[in-house]
Amino acid sequence: MYIPIQTVKDLALKEGFCSCGATKAEKMDISSFKDWLAKGYNASMSYLENYLDKRENPALLLEGTRSIFSFIMSYNDDSETSTHKFKIASYACRKDYHYTIKQKLNNIIIKLKDQYPDLQTKIFVDSAPVQERNWAIRCGLGWKGKNSLLVTKEFGNKVFIGEILANCTSDYAEETANACGNCNKCLTSCPNNAILPDGNINANLCISYQTIENKEEIPENINLRNYIYGCDICLNACIWNNRAKKTEVQDQEVKNLVCSMLDKIEKGEDFKSEFQKLRKLSPMDRIKYQKLLSNVELAKKQSLNTDL
Ligand code: SF4
Ligand code: SF4
């Protein structure tokens, strides 16, 4: 069974995706990922060490897989919460992408199955041992920036990625050439030198890991730069991000809640009720209130020391 990529693209654009591409579902060389793990740069995220065979071979995720379709959706907008002193990564100031992207991919599959009833598929959105960025690169959607993220010329690096594995063939993309050139802006922007010269991240030093995944106390040498959930610093530094088209999808309800929570944090008021609502709507359900509270306390302490 062959499905033209244009058919998939048309459906993807109707669902609000910026772009999509296809590639042959071949084995992927994950030796650099294994090296990264061996050096302990995954910090306490030991789940990343599991199912390496599936990361390497997509056929183990869906029997009979012939193609991988990769989809990107921008979350790059102008209405960031950056006017507040304390900050939350912009991807988290939106509806939980795990659900929204999955739902949209599901809608695409339903429509494709009307035309191709024998189509077998599996959807992944940051939820399984899938090398998402690398597949997106193979699907011609962008390149690996020096901060390890997918960078696209048209939409920058604030993009959600999702995949459909399928038992059909399609029109396969050519990889996009890396356009970082001599730029080093993301590397030099990181306050903790978490970006390694090979374009990977040492999670131990990354604000995003420390404020979300680290269940222990954040080490004193980590500068949070007022971030209390995730970090946008190296994304905001990217030249391609700054030139990118902005998305019109706003998710205003989540943004309003984030703003009202940040207002309360700045005034020293209780913000538990806003956070509990955000845990239901946004990807912030990865942490509990106590963790956010300790992030806030540390960020406040550090900002007091800076202000002195
Ligand atoms: S997300 Fe923040 S802390 Fe992590 S590498 Fe980028 S700038 Fe550094
Ligand atoms: S900031 Fe520069 S080096 Fe970093 S990803 Fe963007 S273009 Fe590449």
Task: Give the chain's domain count.
Answer: 2
DSSP-assigned states of every residue in 179-234: --TT--HHHHH-TT--B-TTS-B-GGG-HHIIIII--SPPPTT---TTEEES--HH
Going from the Cα of 158 to the center of ligand 2, the distance in angstroms, rounded, reads 13
Question: Do the domain assignments include residue 158?
Answer: yes
- Phi/psi at 228 (nearest 5 deg)? -115, -10
Going from the Cα of 200 to the center of ligand 2, the distance in angstroms, rounded, reads 13
Q: CB under 6 Å to ligand 1: residues?
A: 147, 189-190, 192, 194-195, 201, 206-208, 231, 233-234
According to DSSP, the residues that pair with 169 across neighbouring strands are: 2
- Verify that 160 and 204 share a domain, yes or no: no
- Verify that 12 and 159 share a domain, yes or no: yes
- Verify that 206 and 126 share a domain, yes or no: no
Residue finishing a domain among 166, 199, 220: 166
CA distance 122 to 165: 5
Predicted pLDDT of residue 16: 94
Assign residue 4 a region: left if phi > 0, alpha if psi is -120 to 50, beta otherwise? beta
Active site residue 171: no
Residue finishing a domain among 166, 201, 221: 166
- Verify that 214 and 275 share a domain, yes or no: yes
- Verify that 61 and 152 share a domain, yes or no: yes
pLDDT digits (tens, 9 = 90+) for 109-151: 999 999 999 999 999 999 888 999 999 999 999 999 999 999 9
Question: Do the domain assignments include residue 87?
Answer: no
Q: Which residues of the chain have pLDDT under 50?
A: none
According to DSSP, the residues that pair with 159 across neighbouring strands are: 74
Residue 120 CB neighbours (<10 A): 17
Helices (H), the chain: 5-14, 31-38, 52-56, 97-115, 132-138, 185-189, 207-208, 233-236, 239-243, 252-267, 272-281, 289-307
Q: Containing domain of residue 213, as a range?
A: 185-307
CA distance 62 to 15: 24
Question: Do the domain assignments include residue 266?
Answer: yes
Predicted pLDDT of residue 279: 96
- Verify that 216 and 160 share a domain, yes or no: no
- Verify that 162 and 189 share a domain, yes or no: no
- Verify that 105 and 211 share a domain, yes or no: no
- Verify that 64 and 137 share a domain, yes or no: yes
Question: Do the domain assignments include residue 157?
Answer: yes
Residue finishing a domain among 166, 198, 214: 166
Going from the Cα of 240 to the center of ligand 2, the distance in angstroms, rounded, reads 7
Return the CA Rg of the chain: 20
Going from the Cα of 237 to the center of ligand 2, the distance in angstroms, rounded, reads 8
According to DSSP, the residues that pair with 165 across neighbouring strands are: 68, 122
Q: Which residue of the set 35, 118, 126, 232 is catalytic?
A: 126
Predicted pLDDT of residue 249: 79
State both tokens at 157: 């690096």
Question: Do the domain assignments include residue 174?
Answer: no
- Verify that 160 and 193 share a domain, yes or no: no
pTM for the complete prediction?
0.94
Predicted pLDDT of residue 307: 57
Position in ligand 2 atom list of the atom nearest CA 184? 3
Distance of CA 149 to CAs 61, 134, 137, 156, 194, Å? 23, 10, 10, 10, 13
Predicted pLDDT of residue 79: 59
CB hemisphere CA count around 206 (13 angstroms) = 28
- Verify that 10 and 147 share a domain, yes or no: yes
- Verify that 162 and 190 share a domain, yes or no: no
Predicted pLDDT of residue 82: 67
CA distance 158 to 244: 9
Q: Which ligand neighbours the alpha carbon of 41 most closely?
A: 1
Q: Which strand (E) or helix (H) includes residue 22?
A: strand 19-24
Question: Do the domain assignments include residue 154?
Answer: yes
Predicted pLDDT of residue 304: 81
CA distance 137 to 122: 19
CA distance 298 to 229: 12
Position in ligand 1 atom list of the atom nearest CA 235? 6
Question: Do the domain assignments include residue 65?
Answer: yes
